[in-house]
Structure 1
Amino acid sequence: MKPFYTFIILFLSFIELSGQSNGPNLYNKTFELDSVSHLRNPAMGWVLYEEGASFQDEHKNYDPIIFWEEMDEVNAAEYANILYIRVHWKVMEPEEGKYVWKYNKAYQEYIKKAEDRGLKLAFRIFFDNGTPDWVYGAGSESTLDPPLSLKNDKQPYYDDPIFLSKLENFIKAFAEEYDNPDRVDFIDAYGLGRWGEGHGVTLKNQKNYKKVIEKVTGDYARHFKNVLTVYNLSRGDWHISKSAVFDKLGFLPRRDGVGSHWYDDTERAYMADLFPSKAFIGEGCYWFGARDKDTTYQTKTAFFDDKRFPRMRTWNDALSVAVDDAIASRSNTFDLRTPFETKTWIEKLPHKVQEFITYGGYRLYPDSISVHQNDRQLTIDHYWRNFGVGVLPNNHPNWNNKYKVAFALINPNSGKVAYSYVDPIANPGKWIQGELYGYPDLNFTIPKSVNRGNYQLAVTIIDTTTGKPAIKLAIKNNSIINDWAIINTVEIK
């Protein structure tokens, strides 16, 4: 009997030990926020601004070469993510079918310099005193003609069928060149009225207003299928744009005039109604006068007593107010603007430049991650925060929620991903400042095709259309391999 009892005890001990060796292992990882680094992520950050002057013959003392020389003097591209080009249609297509990106070497070099500096592009094509003459030659009428006959103020009649037909042809060609999210961040997909902002849209028949908005934005939406499309938020056409553009087409709102009374309480309420389902593409106010490089910063001609921000008396005042308002407005982007203003920002107000780097747009990071391992089965609890005031516009139709949280096993020797798994639930486009977003009990099993060995378990946000890391995480951690943040070493048996 004694040997039998000994056998039973030994057998039970073996089962207990086997259970311990195959039982769940627990790894806990907390991450520390990096609130300082300049993150080059899509649809956010500081913007350099080309107002079109570089490409217009009437500005003989300014050209693309001078633009980059002056921007490079203050290393502007080290702070910015985007070059925004606001330019007339007549510059982009001076002759029908002869596009500047194909035939203008100065333009090509200008764009190349932006891309060499790591900047994405953004565009607004507008028509106020900027419609090509060949469009009018084809029969499209302008405000120089009846019924308005406005001298020295040449806008097209936007409901003219010839204008709309020629514009659609341009939009199609424009999209063939620039509907590429690797190069382009967003397109202002409208451009009508004063400065392309939708003010004072000239029509032969006011009853055509809604049809014109739907036609132009619809053409942009039809041809741009990959790049973000945006539309200028305005009280003047909100009764149309809310349903026809923001709701139906999913465009993002943009608004200039941030930091001034021109961006009024009514429009701020509109923006609040759209957030957080729509990211805000913000732009500062254009202050007339005192914008040349030889003008002193303190000037009495640059500003007037703004009704919302009456304390502005100098460039420093105006720019400081502007970045405060951009952050309060939850803006994803803001403009360092032209070389003169960019120089002022960087040399005179570096703390305000850093303030928007820290808070502007979105700044996503994992707060903590717990991993339970039982052989090849992993159960993960992960928690995330957004330190920025904006939001990742993941739900734009052209992005279609392509950014997802993913976990990977990385070979520590080669640095290559041996296996990855995407969380089907976690959506970084829904994360806003001040909240903790938790996703417990994510389960997946490592397939047998993954060889035995030790791997680095890592996390990131990928673009599911490429399978590659796409959003840089705001973490203070030097344990990052190819933009994957390391959680722990795991053994796969």
Structure 2
Amino acid sequence: MKRRFLFLAVALLGISSLKAQEQPVQIRVKPIEIHDVLNNPGIGFTTFQRFNGDSLNAGEGWTEGLPILYQKFDGNLTNKNHPQTTIAYFRVDWKYMEPEMEKYNWPMIDKALRTAAERGQTLMLRIAPYEAGEKDVPAWYRKLVGPEDKNQSAKWRIDPEDPRYIQYFGGLIQALGQRYDGHPDLESVDVSIVGYWGEGDGSHLLSDQTRLALLNCYLDNFKKTPLTFQPLNGDAPDPGVIVKGTNISASWPDGRNNGTGTQMRYLGYRVDCLGDMTTDLWPEKHWSHMTDIYPKDIVKSGMSEVWKKAPVTMEICYTFLHWLQTLKYDEQTVDYIFGEALKWHITSFNAKSSPVPEVWSPLVDKWLNKMGYRYVLRRFEYPSVVTRQGQLSYTSLWENVGVAPIYKDYKLAVRLKNSHKTLVLPTCAELLNWLPGDIVDEETLYIPFDMPLGKYQLEIAIVSPVSFEPRVKLAISGVNKDEWYPMGEIEVKDQK
């Protein structure tokens, strides 16, 4: 009896050991972090009135508001003395968009969108109502409303309270949204309603009715393409009243606005004078943007938490060469400016297609490695063996070492590939919620019943939700020629 019991115990132990041996080994991968500058969608520097591969502005100056002067392209996308970019920013005046009443220059926008796509970029767009100097409203509109009234607000060239302003400038914006909203090559559109260069000066002087009508031309017609608002003008006694009567105000710290419809979405914001450090530039106001306006108004405008849901984009005050040659900024000053921009969660930056001085190139590279999102995969763990019609459960630890999340609806995907079969398995990871810091992503994917048996390479990537092609470079080594990141080998077996 004892001998029989001992035999049974040994047999059970053998079966248990056999089952233990059949359990798949867990593969643990710890990728190596890299510190290269990554040219990723929607973040980093932008070109301005230009595209990748074009020559830059000479000296300290720049151009804006005019139609793009297309340069001869030799096929080389390299930007000399300027970072590579994924965004081309185009700012053009109303007079060029509507040279005749209600006859819109769509070919100008179509060509800009097409060229941006050909150069590996998306287009960021602003239609400005007018500028200073001779860059007036369209000639036909000037004839319609008469000459400038020098007694009206110095903020405006024409009276925005005139119903014809909403009818025609607002009508252009409505038509723009109806034609281009959701266009895959359109990165974002600036909400431009009044003021020189469309920067919003005097917005707080508008009546609620006019302000809301102009804002809703954007909100009701751009429901897919992101919108970027500019609440920080430095001209209002309280920036919260710039948009009083809407949900973009100090009483709505998440920056939401639902227009007149039922949709609810988030608006990003932009600032147009990053780097202004001296009150000497504004002697009549005794303030600078960096030390007086932005730190206060970002909070008071109710936009300080917007970065969690919508992008923050910034534009240089003057140019880098102006900083270096005229303002005599030193490295410490530039580092401070960059640090403040990171504190405000900058995602993209317009340097006005001006060269980056070689002496500041290391600072710019360091800045770019923090701007927007930057994903480091710290660990990835998965089973060495899976079965057809079975589960592939993985766990991963990531870190976003940037200052913002991604705002594009991309997908994290797992790919199994060998010489005979390629299978892409999209995950349910919510990348829009991958804020700076640690991220744990654990999921169970399923292997199809007809998956061919054999060994595969397991790879990961952040991909387009439509084509499943990789879109985002990770800050880890080992990317292959297909721009996927191999994690190791996995075997697909049949169920027993």
Q: Of the candidates 399, 407, 417, which is equivalent to residue 411 of structure 1?
A: 417
CA RMSD of aligned residues (A): 3.8
1:378 is aligned to 2:392:
yes
Secondary structure class of the residue paired with 2:247: helix
Distance, in Å, in 1 between the alignment partners of 2:172 and 2:11 is 80
Which residue of structure 1 lines up, in the alignment, with residue 432 of structure 2? 429
Q: Deviations over 1:81-113 (max 9, x none)?
A: 2221122111122123443342x6xx8766655
- After superposition, where does 1:79-94 map in structure 2 within 5 Å? 79-94=84-99
Secondary structure class of the residue paired with 2:395: strand
Which residue of structure 2 lines up, in the alignment, with residue 397 of structure 1? none
Which residue of structure 2 lines up, in the alignment, with residue 269 of structure 1? 299
Deviation at 1:45, TM superposition (A): 0.6
Which residue of structure 2 lines up, in the alignment, with residue 38 of structure 1? 38
Distance, in Å, in 2 between the alignment partners of 1:177 and 1:111 is 13
Which residue of structure 2 lines up, in the alignment, with residue 310 of structure 1? none
Q: Percent identity?
A: 21
The question of whether the paired residues in 2 share the 8 Å contact of 1:125 and 1:191 is answered with no
Distance, in Å, in 1 between the alignment partners of 2:444 and 2:17 is 25
Deviation at 1:466, TM superposition (A): 4.8
Deviation at 1:136, TM superposition (A): 4.2
Q: Deviations over 1:189-216 (max 9, x none)?
A: 234223211112496xx4x2x3333323
The question of whether the paired residues in 2 share the 8 Å contact of 1:258 and 1:325 is answered with no
1:47 is aligned to 2:63:
no
Structure 1 length normalisation: TM-score? 0.76
Distance, in Å, in 1 between the alignment partners of 2:230 and 2:275 is 16
The question of whether the paired residues in 2 share the 8 Å contact of 1:367 and 1:385 is answered with yes
Deviation at 1:16, TM superposition (A): 3.5
Q: Deviations over 1:102-140 (max 9, x none)?
A: 2x6xx8766655443322211111113442233344x4x
Quick one: structure 1 residues 412 and 468, their matched pair in 2 at CA, closer, same or farther if it must change by over 3 Å? Answer: same
1:251 is aligned to 2:267:
yes
Secondary structure class of the residue paired with 1:436: strand
Distance, in Å, in 2 between the alignment partners of 1:11 and 1:222 is 74
The question of whether the paired residues in 1 share the 8 Å contact of 2:45 and 2:348 is answered with yes
Deviation at 1:28, TM superposition (A): 0.5
Distance, in Å, in 1 between the alignment partners of 2:373 and 2:339 is 16
Which residue of structure 1 lines up, in the alignment, with residue 482 of structure 2? 482
1:330 is aligned to 2:360:
no
The question of whether the paired residues in 1 share the 8 Å contact of 2:171 and 2:217 is answered with no
Deviation at 1:385, TM superposition (A): 0.8
Give unmatched runs, 5+ long, in structure 2.
50-61, 249-254, 259-265, 277-287
Quick one: structure 1 residues 148 and 360, their matched pair in 2 at CA, closer, same or farther if it must change by over 3 Å? Answer: same
Distance, in Å, in 1 between the alignment partners of 2:105 and 2:191 is 19
Secondary structure class of the residue paired with 2:369: helix
Which residue of structure 1 lines up, in the alignment, with residue 141 of structure 2? 135
Which residue of structure 2 lines up, in the alignment, with residue 306 of structure 1? none
Which residue of structure 1 lines up, in the alignment, with residue 148 of structure 2? 144
Secondary structure class of the residue paired with 1:437: strand
Give unmatched runs, 5+ long, in structure 1.
57-62, 304-312, 395-401
Deviation at 1:221, TM superposition (A): 2.6
Of residues 445-454 and 313-322 in structure 1, the stretch that sits farther from structure 2 once superposed is: 313-322
User: Aligned pairs, how many?
Assistant: 439
The question of whether the paired residues in 2 share the 8 Å contact of 1:155 and 1:202 is answered with no
Structure 2 length normalisation: TM-score? 0.75
Distance, in Å, in 1 between the alignment partners of 2:204 and 2:164 is 15
Deviation at 1:168, TM superposition (A): 3.6
Which residue of structure 1 lines up, in the alignment, with residue 368 of structure 2? 357
